[in-house]
Structure formats: structure tokens, C-alpha cells
Amino acid sequence: MKSRYLRGAALAMFGLALAGCSGRGGHDGRTVLGFSQVGAESEWRTANTASIKSAAHDAGIDLRFSDAQQKQANQISAIRSFIAQRVDVIAFSPVVESGWEPVLREAKAAHIPVVLTDRAVDVSDPSLYVTLIGSDFVEEGRKAARWLLQNTPAGDGPVDIVELEGTVGSAPAIDRKKGFHEALAGHPRYQVIRSQSGDFTRAGGKEVMEAFLKAEGKRINVVFAHNDDMAIGAIQAIEEAGLRPGRDIKVISMDGVKGAFEAMMAGKLNVTVECNPLLGPQLMQAVAAIKAGKPLPRRIVVEESVYPMESAAAAFPTRKY
């Protein structure tokens, strides 16, 4: 009696273990995607999250979404929890570039493919992720610099620039800075006189710009912000200092969110370099390809343009984020 009971219990446990191991995927057979988002720091990010959620819904993918509030530790625990849940695919937008190898090795050991969206990681083993779907941030930085070179009145007077950097250690902050500085090298008239992180937020942009204005005052000719939200914060700081953003101080930013178009139409922002956050559909296509065992390119780059102030009103009605 006793032994039969035990055998039964052992069989039941074996069955449970099988159910747990065998199949990945949701109870209903749908593909399960675990996604760890950076946070909700900017308009860009909000649009990116909405795109991922709606594309997953449209593709019939069971999305497990987790917001890391701009903290790498939270992303690492989210990824570990996706591994424990045995999701089919893990995707994430890494808040910073470094520090991912251990957790990505855990995903690899569990045979769960990883897709990067938006931001890159710095890893020595390329097999730790399948593909990166996102923008070319170095090129975005170059585009911003090219606009500046073409839109500063001729002459040899100094063009003093302050730079509002994105999150320290993040791919867009590192690469946008690189592209911008690279394109201005060889043009000694253009000097970046101060550079500090505003963490991609409006509050951060405003606070750092206030400090820049206090230190440099009217000497500042240009603000180069690594995203629109920080530029909008900087615009407030410039106005509160009694100066005219867009005129006394030129403002350049990146992303191309609606708030930037509104600021351009109000004459306060000079240009935004587009960075498209609507990556959801491409991510779901990549997940489907992985599930079907189809190969994917290592890098999927998003197409983008530059919108100067004069083009804002015409483009505004067609903007999707």
C-alpha cells in the first residue's frame, strides 16, 4: 500500500517535471516572449513600449513585459526570471552596454535565444545574442553635427556648445557623442565647452542646463541634447534664464517625438534627428523567424531622417510618435 502510494507520488512528480521541462511556450501554445524594458524615462521610451505591446498583441505572442526603471540590476533579475519561466525568446533594451556576460551565459545555457532591441551590449562572445534591432546612433550624432556645420552663420567666431548626454554608459549616449564629436573634429571654431549627463529625462536636462547657464551664461551658443526630453528641459531652463531658446541659443536634439515637433513649431527647438522607436513589428518578426529556425542578420538597422524647424508643421500630422 505504502509503496504503491509512493510510486504514484513519484510518477506524478515525474509527470509534473516533464510538463515543466518539455514545453516552452504558454499553456495555450502561443510563443512566449520575455521583454525587459529600460524604463519610462522619455517620450521615445513610452512610444517604444506601446509599439512592442501592440505588435505582440497583433502577432498573437504572449508577452511578459518588465520595466527596469533605468536600473541594470532590475534588468538582470527580469532576465533571470524569464529563464526560470522558460520563455521561448528573451528580448531586452540594455540600459548600459557593459556587465551582461554572466546573465547572457545563463540564458545561453538554458537554450533561450536573446534579441537586443534599441541598444547594444559590449560582450566578447558574439554568440550571446542573435541580433540587434535598432538605430545607428553614431550616424545620428554625425547628422546633428552636419546640421550645425551647415546652419551656423559663416565667419570664424567661436561656436560654443554644451552637451546634454544620455544615461552614462548607455549605447546611445556613447555613440551619439562619438558621432557628433567626430564630425566636428577639424572644425576648430566649434568647441564643446561642457558636457554632462541628464539621464535622458526632462528633469535631468533642465537641471544640468541650469548649471551650464550658471557657469557659462551667454557664452553658450548651442545645446546639443542626446534626446528630445532633455532638450525640452533645457528649453525651460533657457527661458527661465531670460534667454530665447532657438534664437539666442540654438537647440539640437534627437528622437523626433511629438513634443519636439511642438517645440519646433513654437520656434524653440532648431532641429531633431529622428530615432524611430516603433520597433515592435520588427521584433515580433524576428521572434517568429527564430521560432521557425530561420537565420537572421546580426544587425537590423532602422531608417531615419532629420527634421529642421522649418519642416515641422508640414511633417507634424504624419508623425506616429
Q: In the block, which residue shows the cell 515641422?
A: 312
Please give the sequence-ordered ranges of beta strands (E in DSSP) within 166-292, or none if there are none.
190-197, 222-225, 250-255, 271-274
> Is residue 172 close enough to count as binding ligand GYE by CB under 6 A?
yes
Cα 81 from chain centre: 22
Q: Choose which of 42, 74, 75, 131 interacts with ligand GYE (CB under 6 A).
A: 42
> Is residue 224 close enough to count as binding ligand GYE by CB under 6 A?
no
Cβ count within 10 A of residue 139: 16
Select the span of 40-48, 188-196, 241-249, 279-287 touching ligand GYE (CB under 6 A).
40-48
**Toward ligand GYE, which CB reaches closer, 27 or 320?**
320
How many residues of this chain bind ligand GYE (CB under 6 A)? Answer: 13
Residues 244-263 that bind ligand GYE (CB under 6 A): 254-255
CB 173 to ligand GYE: min, Å:
9
CB 134 to ligand GYE: min, Å:
7
Q: Which three cell numbers stand for residue 307?
A: 527634421
Select the span of 6-14, 42-50, 61-69, 189-197 touching ligand GYE (CB under 6 A).
42-50
- Alpha-carbon gap, residue 256 to 276, rounded angstroms: 8
> Is residue 177 close enough to count as binding ligand GYE by CB under 6 A?
no
Residues 114-143 that bind ligand GYE (CB under 6 A): 118-119
The candidate with the shortest Cα–Cα distance to 102, out of 86, 134, 131, 124, is 124
**Toward ligand GYE, which CB reaches closer, 200 or 212?**
200
Which DSSP letter does residue 119 get?
S
> Is residue 163 close enough to count as binding ligand GYE by CB under 6 A?
no
The candidate with the shortest Cα–Cα distance to 117, out of 24, 43, 44, is 44
CB 201 to ligand GYE: min, Å:
8
> Is residue 275 close enough to count as binding ligand GYE by CB under 6 A?
yes
Cα 294 from chain centre: 26
CB 196 to ligand GYE: min, Å:
16
Residue 222 CB partners (closer than 8 Å, separation 6+):
148, 152, 159, 160, 161, 162, 249, 250, 251, 252
CB 85 to ligand GYE: min, Å:
26
> Is residue 44 close enough to count as binding ligand GYE by CB under 6 A?
yes
Please give the sequence-ordered ranges of beta strands (E in DSSP) within the chain, or none if there are none.
32-37, 62-67, 89-92, 114-117, 131-134, 159-165, 190-197, 222-225, 250-255, 271-274, 299-301, 306-308
**Toward ligand GYE, which CB reaches closer, 88 or 255?**
255
Binding-residue pattern over the window 53 to 92 for ligand GYE, x denoting contact by CB under 6 A: ----------------------------------------
Q: Which three cell numbers stand for residue 38?
A: 529600460
**Toward ligand GYE, which CB reaches closer, 42 or 270?**
42
- Alpha-carbon gap, residue 164 to 145, rounded angstroms: 14
Interface contacts to ligand GYE, rule CB under 6 A: 41-42, 44-45, 118-119, 172, 200, 227, 229, 254-255, 275
